[in-house]
Structure 1
Amino acid sequence: MTMNEVSERYKIPVKILKEYESWGLCGEIKKEMGSWHYDDSDIERLSTIMTLHDIGFASEEIEKYMRLLAAGTSAETERIKILEEKRNGTLDEIHLKQQQLDRLDYLRFDIKRSKKDI
């Protein structure tokens, strides 16, 4: 598939595809008649990139993760460490949001209680 076909079919912005190519991690992508052609393994890697993007990884973090992925099993420990750090950061954000929600609920409760006292 060409870059435009991949972009349309999988809803991956061309910008992301070009960035991916610039990392030199394109695997089996072949250039034919001036345009890139993606095979199934390329699509699988692009899916991983989009997943990382969707869960909050910055481009630099995605590139690092993908380089480790390309390194194979020798880099699995480092990949797990990266994912655990991101998971812990996400949990911290969830806990902060829960505290904010608790405070909002208290303020709502306080207003409703004061209405009853009037």
Structure 2
Amino acid sequence: MTIQEASERYHIPMHILREYESWGLCGAVKKVMGDWQYDDGDLERLSTIMTLHDIGFTVEEVEAYMRLLLEGDHTAVQRLSMLEKKRSAALEEIHFKERQLQRLDYLRYEIRKAQEGKKG
């Protein structure tokens, strides 16, 4: 499968495919008639890359994670640590947003309470 076919079939932006190629992490990808050819393993790794992008990993973090992944199972602890850090950051962000919502709801409550006081 060519880069264009992979982009269209799996809805992967071309810039991500180009990043993947530039990292040299393409595994068994071969150039045929000037186009990179992706195998099933490449598509699986691309799926992981998309997931990492979607959960907020930076380009540098994605590359580091993928290099560890390709090194093998002995890097599982390091990869898990990266995921745990990202999870902790996401939870902190959620808690911050929850506090914002509480403040927002309080202000809404105060306005409604004041409006009801004017009606009575």
Say yes or no: TM over 0.5. Answer: yes
Gapped runs of 5+ residues in structure 1?
none
Give me the whole-angstrom Cα distance separating, in 1, the residues matched to 2:64 and 2:106. 43
- Find the counterpart in structure 1 of residue 83 from structure 2: 83
Gapped runs of 5+ residues in structure 2?
none
C-alpha displacement of 1:101: 0.4
Give me the whole-angstrom Cα distance separating, in 2, the residues matched to 1:21 and 1:97. 37
C-alpha displacement of 1:117: 1.0
C-alpha displacement of 1:52: 0.3
2:87 alignment partner AA: R
Normalised TM-score (structure 1):
0.98
The 5 A counterparts of 1:1-118 are: 1-118=1-118
Give me the whole-angstrom Cα distance separating, in 2, the residues matched to 1:117 and 1:24. 68
Give me the whole-angstrom Cα distance separating, in 2, the residues matched to 1:24 and 1:50. 17
Give me the whole-angstrom Cα distance separating, in 2, the residues matched to 1:36 and 1:78. 30
C-alpha displacement of 1:14: 1.1
Runs of 4 or more consecutive aligned structure 1 residues displaced over 6 Å after TM superposition: none
Normalised TM-score (structure 2):
0.97
For this pair of structures, how many residues does the alignment match? 118
